[in-house]
Amino acid sequence: MSRLREACEIDLYTGDRAIARSELIDRVREKQGLVCLLTDQIDRGVIDAAPSLRIIANIAVGYNNIDVEHARVRGIVVTNTPDVLTEATADFTWGLILAITRRIVEGDRLVRRGEWKGWALDFMLGSELRGKRLGIIGMGRIGQAVAARAPAFGMAVATSSDRPFTARLRPEGPDLPKIASVSFDELITTSHVLTIHVPLTGETTHLIDARVLARMRRSAYLVNTSRGPVVDEAALGWALREGLIAGAALDVYEREPEVHRDLLGLENVILAPHLASATIETRTAMADLAATNVLRVLAGDQPLTPVNL
Ligand code: DGY
């Protein structure tokens, strides 16, 4: 904010919910730059309401909330915040993997309910990761950062992604482990933990549906830190209830902040409130990158992280 304030006049929305579409349309009219969040729908109507707009800077790596193509047609640059959130998101993904396979959240709930009767040999047994297969759907930066952490937990990594990935994400980072390249069907039927790291597009909407869930191992866990609509939540509730998979850990939902009611009553699912990038360091870096993009475009320079140039 302070960097933007030095160079621009700011109209700051301070509500704690997403701005109403009518208010957004009203306030964006004369603006040259728009900094928005993944909860703001920047559709054709919003874009057309702002004839002077030159940049839409999303504070998120995902930009499915923006009509990027229409912005391109109108000559408006759209930017996102990749890289700066990769490590935080990969850490959180592993937090979810450990928490669901070792029943940490379920155990916490039990203790708080006063139901813990003491240590027992067969009490709340989870599942070990060592020697198991981690299936990664989506091998972009975050998928690769998740893969890079797998050797620490003794997991073998597989993916169905055919995009080439780098041997090392950061110069100082670890080398990627050996990653088996398999078909999507082999990935979903053989993985013990399946973690999703694809952007939300027409193709990835409900990529994980009832058919896929029914083909997964009964002992498998599903983890989603990408976008909610990639998983059919009603189908997931059914699969968890019927024991078709062992558990799921979600950070994202089809209609945030709503969570499908079938999931709310289940013990074998962790429901996190879209927190994967939520560290002080990462959220500060995301905001800073968005500000840099705005300042560069308004000064006539190339933005650092455009998605539609
Ligand atoms: C993103 O950036 O797309 C995440 O969902 C929020 O950090």
Q: Which residues contact 306 (CB under 8 A, 6 or more apart)?
A: 77, 78, 79, 293
Residue 162: its pLDDT value, please? 82
Residue 85 Cα to ligand 1 midpoint, Å, equals: 8
Provide the edge-to-edge strand list for the sheet that holds 247-250. 179-181, 156-159, 133-137, 193-196, 221-224, 247-250, 269-271
Asked if 71 and 56 touch (Cβ cutoff 8 Å), the reply is yes
Element (H, E) at 237: helix 233-241
Q: Identify the band that residue 97 occupies on the pLDDT scale cut at 50, 70 and 90.
A: very high
CB 158 within 8 A of CB 182: yes
Q: Does any ligand 1 atom lie closer than 6 A to the CB of residue 36?
A: no
For the Cβ of 307 lying below 6 angstroms from any atom of ligand 1, the answer is no
- Under a CB-based contact definition with an 8 Å cutoff, are residues 274 and 37 in contact? no
Ligand 1: which atom is nearest the Cα of residue 80?
2
Fold match between domain 2-83+280-298 and domain 86-271: yes
Query: Residue 174 above 80 pLDDT?
Result: no
* Region 88-97 average pLDDT: 98
The answer to whether residues 294 and 57 touch, using CB atoms and an 8 Å cutoff, is yes
Dihedral (Cα; 83, 87, 88, 92), 10-degree rounding: 130
Q: What is the 3-state secondary structure (H, E, C) of 201-219?
A: CCCCCCCECHHHHHHCCCC
Could you tell me how far CA 216 lies from the centroid of its own chain? 22
Q: Please give the average per-residue pLDDT across 167-178, as a whole number.
A: 77
Ligand 1 atom 6: the closest Cα is on which residue?
60
Residue 304 has pLDDT above 70, yes or no: yes
Kindly list the domain boundaries of the chain, sorted by start residue.
2-83+280-298, 86-271
Residue 85 CB less than 6 A away from ligand 1: yes
Does ligand 1 have an atom closer than 6 angstroms to the CB of 62? Answer: yes
3-state secondary structure of 250: strand
Q: Look at residue 169 and tell me whether its pLDDT is greater than 80.
A: no
Which of the four pLDDT bands, split at 50, 70 and 90, describes residue 164?
confident
Rg (CA), the chain: 21
Q: Is the pLDDT of residue 170 over 80?
A: no
Q: Residue 167 pLDDT more than 80?
A: no
User: Could you give the strand order of the β-sheet that contains 77-79, starting from the edge strand earlier in sequence?
Assistant: 33-36, 55-58, 77-79
Residue 35 is predicted with a pLDDT of: 98
d(CA 268, CA 295): 46
Question: How far, in Å, is the centroid of ligand 1 from the Cα of 160?
Answer: 23
Name the amino acid, one letter, at 105: V
Amino acid 262: pLDDT? 97
* Ligand 1 near 277 CB (within 6 A): yes
Task: Examine the pLDDT at 92 and tell me if it is beyond 70.
Answer: yes
What's the pLDDT at 172?
A: 75
Burial of 270 (0-12, 13-18, 19+ CB in 10 A): buried
Average pLDDT, the chain: 96
Superfamily of structural domain 86-271: NAD(P)-binding Rossmann-like Domain (3.40.50.720)
pLDDT (mean) for 136-145: 96
Rounded CA-CA distance 167/22 in Å is: 47
CB 180 within 8 A of CB 161: no
How far, in Å, is the centroid of ligand 1 from the Cα of 217? Answer: 29
- Res 175: pLDDT: 82
Of the candidates 30, 256, 258, 267, the residue annotated as catalytic is 256
The predicted pLDDT at position 300 comes to 98
Any idea which of 144-158, 164-178, 194-208, 277-291 has the lowest mean pLDDT? 164-178
- Sheet strands (E) in the chain: 33-36, 55-58, 77-79, 133-137, 156-159, 179-181, 193-196, 221-224, 247-250, 269-271
Please give the structure tokens belonging to residue 29: 């009219």
Give me the pLDDT at residue 168, please. 67
Is 65 a pocket residue for ligand 1 (Cβ < 6 Å)? Answer: no
Architecture of domain 2-83+280-298: 3-Layer(aba) Sandwich (3.40)
The helix or strand, by DSSP H or E, that contains position 46, with its residue range, turns out to be helix 44-48
